[in-house]
Protein backbone atom coordinates (compact mmCIF):
# COMPACT_ATOMS: atom_id res chain seq x y z
CA UNK A 1 0.00 0.00 0.00
CA UNK A 2 0.99 3.62 -0.39
CA UNK A 3 0.34 6.08 2.40
CA UNK A 4 0.04 9.46 0.73
CA UNK A 5 0.80 12.26 3.17
CA UNK A 6 -0.90 15.64 2.95
CA UNK A 7 1.03 18.50 1.36
CA UNK A 8 3.08 20.09 4.11
CA UNK A 9 2.80 17.11 6.50
CA UNK A 10 5.40 17.51 9.26
CA UNK A 11 8.46 15.32 9.77
CA UNK A 12 6.99 14.06 13.05
CA UNK A 13 3.81 13.00 11.26
CA UNK A 14 5.85 11.11 8.63
CA UNK A 15 7.95 9.47 11.34
CA UNK A 16 4.84 8.46 13.24
CA UNK A 17 3.39 6.74 10.15
CA UNK A 18 6.70 4.95 9.54
CA UNK A 19 6.51 3.57 13.08
CA UNK A 20 2.84 2.59 12.63
CA UNK A 21 3.65 0.79 9.35
CA UNK A 22 6.45 -1.14 11.02
CA UNK A 23 4.36 -2.01 14.06
CA UNK A 24 1.85 -3.55 11.64
CA UNK A 25 4.62 -5.90 10.49
CA UNK A 26 5.19 -4.08 7.18
CA UNK A 27 8.40 -2.63 5.74
CA UNK A 28 8.39 1.12 5.11
CA UNK A 29 10.05 3.09 2.33
CA UNK A 30 9.80 6.86 2.59
CA UNK A 31 9.83 8.65 -0.74
CA UNK A 32 10.16 12.41 -0.76
CA UNK A 33 8.44 13.69 -3.90
CA UNK A 34 8.53 17.24 -5.21
CA UNK A 35 4.89 17.73 -4.13
CA UNK A 36 4.48 15.50 -1.10
CA UNK A 37 5.88 12.59 0.85
CA UNK A 38 4.59 9.08 0.35
CA UNK A 39 5.34 6.03 2.45
CA UNK A 40 5.28 2.65 0.76
CA UNK A 41 4.12 -0.04 3.19
CA UNK A 42 5.35 -3.35 1.81
CA UNK A 43 4.34 -6.78 2.98
CA UNK A 44 1.35 -9.01 3.57
CA UNK A 45 -1.82 -6.94 3.85
CA UNK A 46 -3.95 -7.63 6.90
CA UNK A 47 -7.50 -6.67 7.86
CA UNK A 48 -7.88 -3.13 9.10
CA UNK A 49 -4.38 -2.04 7.96
CA UNK A 50 -5.77 0.57 5.60
CA UNK A 51 -8.27 1.96 8.11
CA UNK A 52 -5.68 2.07 10.85
CA UNK A 53 -3.21 4.03 8.71
CA UNK A 54 -5.88 6.35 7.29
CA UNK A 55 -6.64 7.72 10.72
CA UNK A 56 -3.03 8.89 11.25
CA UNK A 57 -2.32 12.63 11.51
CA UNK A 58 -1.14 14.15 8.23
CA UNK A 59 -2.41 11.24 6.10
CA UNK A 60 -4.33 12.14 2.96
CA UNK A 61 -5.01 8.68 1.54
CA UNK A 62 -4.01 5.03 1.62
CA UNK A 63 -4.09 3.30 -1.76
CA UNK A 64 -3.09 -0.19 -2.92
CA UNK A 65 -0.03 -0.60 -5.19
CA UNK A 66 -1.41 -2.45 -8.18
CA UNK A 67 1.90 -3.48 -9.81
CA UNK A 68 3.57 -6.66 -8.52
CA UNK A 69 6.78 -4.66 -8.00
CA UNK A 70 6.37 -1.98 -5.37
CA UNK A 71 9.34 0.31 -4.64
CA UNK A 72 10.31 0.30 -8.35
CA UNK A 73 6.82 1.37 -9.37
CA UNK A 74 5.83 4.82 -10.65
CA UNK A 75 2.73 4.51 -8.49
CA UNK A 76 4.97 4.84 -5.44
CA UNK A 77 7.37 7.44 -6.87
CA UNK A 78 6.11 9.46 -9.84
CA UNK A 79 9.33 11.51 -10.14
CA UNK A 80 12.09 9.87 -12.20
CA UNK A 81 15.17 8.69 -10.30
CA UNK A 82 18.56 9.96 -11.44
CA UNK A 83 21.38 7.64 -10.41
CA UNK A 84 24.75 9.32 -9.84
CA UNK A 85 27.99 7.43 -9.36
CA UNK A 86 31.04 9.68 -9.69
CA UNK A 87 31.31 10.87 -13.29
CA UNK A 88 28.26 8.83 -14.35
CA UNK A 89 24.78 10.34 -14.27
CA UNK A 90 21.85 8.37 -15.63
CA UNK A 91 18.39 9.87 -15.66
CA UNK A 92 16.83 13.30 -16.00
CA UNK A 93 18.19 15.32 -18.87
CA UNK A 94 21.51 13.43 -19.04
CA UNK A 95 22.16 10.43 -21.25
CA UNK A 96 25.06 8.59 -19.59
CA UNK A 97 27.53 6.73 -21.77
CA UNK A 98 29.33 3.70 -20.33
CA UNK A 99 31.99 2.51 -22.75
CA UNK A 100 34.90 0.11 -22.73
CA UNK A 101 35.95 -3.41 -23.58
CA UNK A 102 33.97 -6.53 -22.86
CA UNK A 103 36.89 -7.81 -20.76
CA UNK A 104 39.84 -6.09 -19.16
CA UNK A 105 42.82 -7.72 -20.91
CA UNK A 106 45.92 -5.67 -20.11
CA UNK A 107 47.10 -2.33 -18.73
CA UNK A 108 47.73 -0.97 -22.21
CA UNK A 109 44.32 -2.12 -23.50
CA UNK A 110 42.23 -0.66 -20.66
CA UNK A 111 44.19 2.59 -20.32
CA UNK A 112 44.18 3.37 -24.03
CA UNK A 113 40.45 2.60 -24.20
CA UNK A 114 39.69 4.73 -21.15
CA UNK A 115 41.54 7.67 -22.69
CA UNK A 116 39.83 7.27 -26.07
CA UNK A 117 36.28 6.90 -24.76
CA UNK A 118 36.76 9.79 -22.36
CA UNK A 119 38.00 12.03 -25.19
CA UNK A 120 34.91 11.10 -27.22
CA UNK A 121 32.59 12.04 -24.33
CA UNK A 122 31.91 8.80 -22.41
CA UNK A 123 30.95 9.31 -18.76
CA UNK A 124 31.96 5.90 -17.39
CA UNK A 125 34.33 3.07 -18.20
CA UNK A 126 33.13 -0.52 -18.51
CA UNK A 127 35.23 -3.67 -18.47
CA UNK A 128 34.71 -7.13 -17.08
CA UNK A 129 37.23 -8.57 -14.64
CA UNK A 130 35.02 -11.51 -13.68
CA UNK A 131 33.56 -12.83 -16.93
CA UNK A 132 30.51 -15.09 -17.19
CA UNK A 133 31.47 -17.22 -20.21
CA UNK A 134 29.32 -19.83 -21.88
CA UNK A 135 32.28 -22.22 -22.00
CA UNK A 136 34.52 -22.90 -18.99
CA UNK A 137 37.45 -23.07 -21.45
CA UNK A 138 37.01 -19.44 -22.58
CA UNK A 139 38.90 -16.51 -20.99
CA UNK A 140 37.40 -15.97 -17.52
CA UNK A 141 38.79 -12.49 -16.84
CA UNK A 142 41.79 -11.11 -14.95
CA UNK A 143 39.83 -11.09 -11.67
CA UNK A 144 41.37 -8.82 -8.98
CA UNK A 145 44.22 -7.76 -11.27
CA UNK A 146 41.55 -6.56 -13.75
CA UNK A 147 39.79 -4.60 -11.00
CA UNK A 148 43.08 -2.96 -10.10
CA UNK A 149 43.64 -1.94 -13.73
CA UNK A 150 40.13 -0.44 -13.87
CA UNK A 151 40.86 1.55 -10.71
CA UNK A 152 44.13 2.79 -12.28
CA UNK A 153 42.21 3.90 -15.38
CA UNK A 154 39.72 5.77 -13.16
CA UNK A 155 42.60 7.43 -11.34
CA UNK A 156 44.00 8.73 -14.61
CA UNK A 157 40.81 9.67 -16.47
CA UNK A 158 38.30 10.37 -13.71
CA UNK A 159 35.83 7.97 -15.33
CA UNK A 160 33.64 5.90 -12.98
CA UNK A 161 34.10 2.16 -13.23
CA UNK A 162 31.24 -0.21 -14.13
CA UNK A 163 32.14 -3.88 -13.72
CA UNK A 164 30.37 -7.18 -13.20
CA UNK A 165 30.10 -9.09 -9.96
CA UNK A 166 29.19 -12.74 -10.43
CA UNK A 167 29.10 -14.23 -6.95
CA UNK A 168 27.88 -13.28 -3.50
CA UNK A 169 31.26 -13.93 -1.89
CA UNK A 170 32.96 -11.58 -4.39
CA UNK A 171 30.69 -8.58 -3.76
CA UNK A 172 32.97 -6.95 -1.16
CA UNK A 173 36.02 -7.33 -3.37
CA UNK A 174 34.35 -5.90 -6.50
CA UNK A 175 32.67 -3.10 -4.50
CA UNK A 176 36.11 -2.06 -3.21
CA UNK A 177 37.14 -1.11 -6.77
CA UNK A 178 33.88 -0.41 -8.66
CA UNK A 179 31.56 2.59 -8.71
CA UNK A 180 28.74 0.58 -10.27
CA UNK A 181 28.18 -3.15 -9.73
CA UNK A 182 26.92 -4.84 -12.88
CA UNK A 183 24.62 -7.83 -12.47
CA UNK A 184 24.94 -9.80 -15.68
CA UNK A 185 22.04 -11.14 -17.69
CA UNK A 186 22.76 -14.68 -16.53
CA UNK A 187 22.49 -13.61 -12.90
CA UNK A 188 19.37 -11.46 -13.11
CA UNK A 189 17.42 -13.91 -10.99
CA UNK A 190 20.22 -14.84 -8.58
CA UNK A 191 18.27 -13.56 -5.61
CA UNK A 192 21.02 -13.94 -2.98
CA UNK A 193 23.36 -11.92 -5.23
CA UNK A 194 20.70 -9.24 -5.69
CA UNK A 195 20.27 -8.99 -1.92
CA UNK A 196 24.03 -8.82 -1.45
CA UNK A 197 24.46 -5.87 -3.83
CA UNK A 198 21.38 -4.31 -2.23
CA UNK A 199 23.38 -4.19 0.98
CA UNK A 200 26.27 -2.21 -0.53
CA UNK A 201 26.49 1.54 -1.04
CA UNK A 202 27.32 1.08 -4.74
CA UNK A 203 24.94 1.77 -7.62
CA UNK A 204 23.75 -1.36 -9.43
CA UNK A 205 23.38 -1.89 -13.19
CA UNK A 206 20.88 -4.73 -13.54
CA UNK A 207 20.86 -6.43 -16.92
CA UNK A 208 17.74 -8.11 -18.23
CA UNK A 209 17.97 -11.89 -18.47
CA UNK A 210 17.75 -13.06 -22.12
CA UNK A 211 14.50 -14.88 -21.37
CA UNK A 212 13.13 -12.72 -18.57
CA UNK A 213 9.93 -10.72 -18.91
CA UNK A 214 9.91 -7.03 -18.04
CA UNK A 215 7.95 -7.76 -14.85
CA UNK A 216 10.63 -10.28 -13.85
CA UNK A 217 13.30 -7.62 -14.46
CA UNK A 218 11.41 -5.16 -12.26
CA UNK A 219 10.90 -7.76 -9.54
CA UNK A 220 14.64 -8.50 -9.65
CA UNK A 221 15.25 -4.75 -9.17
CA UNK A 222 12.83 -4.92 -6.26
CA UNK A 223 15.18 -7.35 -4.47
CA UNK A 224 17.95 -4.71 -4.54
CA UNK A 225 15.64 -1.84 -3.59
CA UNK A 226 14.09 -3.85 -0.79
CA UNK A 227 17.50 -4.09 0.91
CA UNK A 228 17.60 -0.29 1.03
CA UNK A 229 19.79 0.44 -2.01
CA UNK A 230 17.85 2.96 -4.15
CA UNK A 231 20.47 3.31 -6.90
CA UNK A 232 19.36 0.76 -9.46
CA UNK A 233 19.81 1.23 -13.21
CA UNK A 234 17.86 -1.16 -15.46
CA UNK A 235 19.51 -2.44 -18.63
CA UNK A 236 17.88 -3.81 -21.79
CA UNK A 237 20.52 -5.97 -23.46
CA UNK A 238 18.40 -8.02 -25.83
CA UNK A 239 16.37 -11.18 -25.45
CA UNK A 240 16.47 -14.59 -27.05
CA UNK A 241 13.99 -15.12 -29.90
CA UNK A 242 13.73 -17.33 -33.01
CA UNK A 243 15.79 -14.76 -34.95
CA UNK A 244 19.30 -15.89 -35.82
CA UNK A 245 20.64 -12.93 -37.82
CA UNK A 246 21.44 -11.02 -34.67
CA UNK A 247 22.95 -12.48 -31.47
CA UNK A 248 19.88 -11.37 -29.48
CA UNK A 249 16.78 -9.36 -30.38
CA UNK A 250 16.90 -5.81 -29.02
CA UNK A 251 13.37 -4.61 -28.11
CA UNK A 252 13.40 -0.83 -27.77
CA UNK A 253 9.76 -0.80 -26.71
CA UNK A 254 11.19 -1.89 -23.35
CA UNK A 255 12.52 1.64 -22.86
CA UNK A 256 9.17 3.26 -23.55
CA UNK A 257 7.26 0.70 -21.48
CA UNK A 258 9.63 0.92 -18.50
CA UNK A 259 9.47 4.71 -18.60
CA UNK A 260 5.73 4.47 -17.96
CA UNK A 261 5.93 1.80 -15.27
CA UNK A 262 9.01 2.68 -13.23
CA UNK A 263 10.90 5.72 -11.99
CA UNK A 264 14.23 3.86 -12.31
CA UNK A 265 16.60 4.95 -15.09
CA UNK A 266 17.08 2.75 -18.15
CA UNK A 267 20.23 1.98 -20.11
CA UNK A 268 20.38 0.15 -23.45
CA UNK A 269 23.20 -2.18 -24.51
CA UNK A 270 23.18 -2.33 -28.33
CA UNK A 271 26.47 -4.29 -28.33
CA UNK A 272 25.04 -7.45 -26.76
CA UNK A 273 21.58 -6.59 -28.10
CA UNK A 274 22.72 -7.01 -31.71
CA UNK A 275 26.03 -8.87 -31.49
CA UNK A 276 27.21 -7.16 -34.66
CA UNK A 277 29.47 -4.10 -34.78
CA UNK A 278 27.80 -2.87 -37.98
CA UNK A 279 24.42 -2.59 -36.25
CA UNK A 280 25.60 -0.90 -33.05
CA UNK A 281 25.81 2.80 -34.08
CA UNK A 282 22.29 2.98 -35.52
CA UNK A 283 20.75 0.96 -32.68
CA UNK A 284 22.50 3.22 -30.17
CA UNK A 285 20.98 6.25 -31.91
CA UNK A 286 17.56 4.53 -32.00
CA UNK A 287 17.85 3.85 -28.25
CA UNK A 288 18.43 7.55 -27.61
CA UNK A 289 15.40 8.37 -29.80
CA UNK A 290 13.32 5.90 -27.76
CA UNK A 291 14.24 7.90 -24.65
CA UNK A 292 16.96 5.83 -23.00
CA UNK A 293 18.75 7.39 -20.02
CA UNK A 294 22.02 5.80 -20.97
CA UNK A 295 23.99 3.54 -23.27
CA UNK A 296 26.51 0.82 -22.52
CA UNK A 297 28.82 0.13 -25.44
CA UNK A 298 31.69 -2.27 -26.02
CA UNK A 299 34.80 -0.52 -27.33
CA UNK A 300 38.18 -2.14 -28.00
CA UNK A 301 41.47 -0.77 -29.41
CA UNK A 302 41.55 -3.67 -31.87
CA UNK A 303 38.28 -5.64 -31.92
CA UNK A 304 39.81 -8.31 -34.15
CA UNK A 305 42.11 -9.32 -31.32
CA UNK A 306 39.64 -8.99 -28.43
CA UNK A 307 39.55 -11.91 -25.98
CA UNK A 308 35.75 -11.68 -25.83
CA UNK A 309 32.94 -10.12 -27.89
CA UNK A 310 35.22 -8.56 -30.53
CA UNK A 311 32.57 -9.14 -33.25
CA UNK A 312 30.25 -6.65 -31.51
CA UNK A 313 32.86 -4.13 -30.33
CA UNK A 314 33.50 -0.71 -31.82
CA UNK A 315 37.00 0.55 -32.44
CA UNK A 316 37.88 4.07 -31.26
CA UNK A 317 36.92 5.75 -34.53
CA UNK A 318 33.60 3.91 -34.73
CA UNK A 319 32.88 4.88 -31.14
CA UNK A 320 33.53 8.54 -31.90
CA UNK A 321 31.19 8.42 -34.88
CA UNK A 322 28.53 6.68 -32.80
CA UNK A 323 28.80 9.43 -30.19
CA UNK A 324 28.34 12.11 -32.87
CA UNK A 325 25.27 10.39 -34.25
CA UNK A 326 23.74 9.90 -30.81
CA UNK A 327 24.52 13.45 -29.76
CA UNK A 328 22.41 14.84 -32.66
CA UNK A 329 19.43 12.75 -31.55
CA UNK A 330 19.93 13.68 -27.89
CA UNK A 331 19.98 17.38 -28.78
CA UNK A 332 16.70 16.97 -30.65
CA UNK A 333 15.27 15.36 -27.51
CA UNK A 334 16.58 18.27 -25.39
CA UNK A 335 18.99 16.01 -23.56
CA UNK A 336 22.73 16.01 -23.10
CA UNK A 337 24.60 12.91 -24.23
CA UNK A 338 27.88 12.13 -22.51
CA UNK A 339 30.15 14.84 -21.19
C1 LIG B 1 28.92 -7.96 -20.65
O2 LIG B 1 28.47 -6.86 -20.36
O3 LIG B 1 30.03 -8.14 -21.17
C4 LIG B 1 28.04 -9.13 -20.45
C5 LIG B 1 28.54 -10.33 -20.17
O6 LIG B 1 26.75 -8.84 -20.62
P7 LIG B 1 25.42 -9.72 -20.42
O8 LIG B 1 25.39 -10.11 -18.98
O9 LIG B 1 24.31 -8.78 -20.82
O10 LIG B 1 25.52 -10.91 -21.35
MN1 LIG C 1 30.52 -8.65 -23.56
SS (HEC) of the chain: CEEEECCCCCHHHHHHHHHHHHHCCCEEEEEECCCCEEEEEECCCCCCHHHHHHCCCCEEEEECCCCCCCCCECCCCCCCCCEEECCEEEECCEEEEEEECCECCCHHHHHHHHHHHHHCCCCEEECECCCCCCCCCCCCCCCHHHHHHHHHHHHHHCCEEEEECCCHHHHHHHHHHCCEEEECHHHCCCHHHHHHHHCCCCEEEEECCCCCCHHHHHHHHHHHHHCCCCCEEEEECCECCCCCCCCCECCCHHHHHHHHHECCCEEECHHHHHCCHHHHHHHHHHHHHCCCCEEEEEECCCHHHCCCCHHHCECHHHHHHHHHHHHHHHHHCCCEECC
CB 132 near ligand 1, within 6 Å: yes
Share of the chain above pLDDT 90, in %: 93
Render pLDDT for 239-259 as a digit per residue (tens, 0 to 9). Answer: 999 999 999 999 999 999 999
How far apart are alpha carbons 132 and 182 in whole angstroms? Answer: 12
Task: Give mean pLDDT, residues 2-16.
Answer: 95
Cβ proximity of 40 and 70 under 8 Å: yes
Is the model's pLDDT at 109 over the cut of 90?
yes
59 CA distance to ligand 1 centroid (A)?
45
Counting ligands in written order, the one closest to the CA of 307 is: 2
Instruction: List, in sequence order, every residue forming a beta bridge with 180; answer none if it has no partner.
Output: 162, 203
- Quick one: pLDDT at residue 144? 98
**Long-range pairs of 278-282 with CB within 8 A, sequence gap ≥ 24:** 279/246, 280/312, 280/314, 280/318, 280/322, 281/314, 281/318, 281/321, 281/322, 281/325, 282/325
Cβ proximity of 42 and 18 under 8 Å: no
Q: Residue 314: which of 277, 270, 275 has the closest Cα?
A: 277
Render pLDDT for 198-210 as a digit per residue (tens, 0 to 9). Answer: 999 999 999 999 9
Task: Give mean pLDDT, residues 290-297.
Answer: 98
185 CA distance to ligand 1 centroid (A)?
6
CB 184 near ligand 1, within 6 Å: yes
Half-sphere exposure of 151 (CA within 13 A, CB side): 12
CB 272 near ligand 1, within 6 Å: yes
CB atoms within 10 A of CB 305: 10
Q: Of ligand 1's atoms, which has the minimum distance to the CA of residue 235?
A: 9
Is the model's pLDDT at 46 over the cut of 80?
no
Is the model's pLDDT at 100 over the cut of 80?
yes
- Quick one: pLDDT at residue 33? 84
CB atoms within 10 A of CB 97: 30
CB 297 near ligand 1, within 6 Å: no
Task: Give mean pLDDT, residues 294-316.
Answer: 98
* 49 confidence band (pLDDT: 50, 70, 90): confident
Q: Residue 286: which of 330, 242, 245, 316 has the closest Cα?
A: 330
- Quick one: pLDDT at residue 6? 95
Q: Of ligand 1's atoms, which has the minimum distance to the CA of residue 296?
A: 2
- Quick one: pLDDT at residue 209? 98
| Closest residue CA from atom 1 of ligand 1 | 102
pTM of the full predicted structure? 0.95
CB 314 near ligand 1, within 6 Å: no
Please provide residue 192's backbone torsions phi and psi, each rounded to the nearest 5 degrees: -65, -35
298 CA distance to ligand 2 centroid (A)?
7
Task: Give mean pLDDT, residues 92-117.
Answer: 97
Render pLDDT for 140-191 as a digit per residue (tens, 0 to 9). Answer: 999 999 999 999 999 999 999 999 999 999 999 999 999 999 999 999 999 9
Is the model's pLDDT at 45 over the cut of 80?
no
- Quick one: pLDDT at residue 212? 98
Is the model's pLDDT at 333 over the cut of 80?
yes
Amino acid sequence: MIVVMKKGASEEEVQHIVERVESLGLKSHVIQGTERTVIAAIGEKREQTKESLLSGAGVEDVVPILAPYKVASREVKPDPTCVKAGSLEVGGSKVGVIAGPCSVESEEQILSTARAVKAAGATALRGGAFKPRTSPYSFQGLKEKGLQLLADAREETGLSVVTEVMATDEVDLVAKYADVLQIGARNMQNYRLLEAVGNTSRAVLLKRGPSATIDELLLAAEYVLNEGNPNVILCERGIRTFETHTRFTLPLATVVYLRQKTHLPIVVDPSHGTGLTALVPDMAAASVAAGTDGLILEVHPNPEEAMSDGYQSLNFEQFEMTMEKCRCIATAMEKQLGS
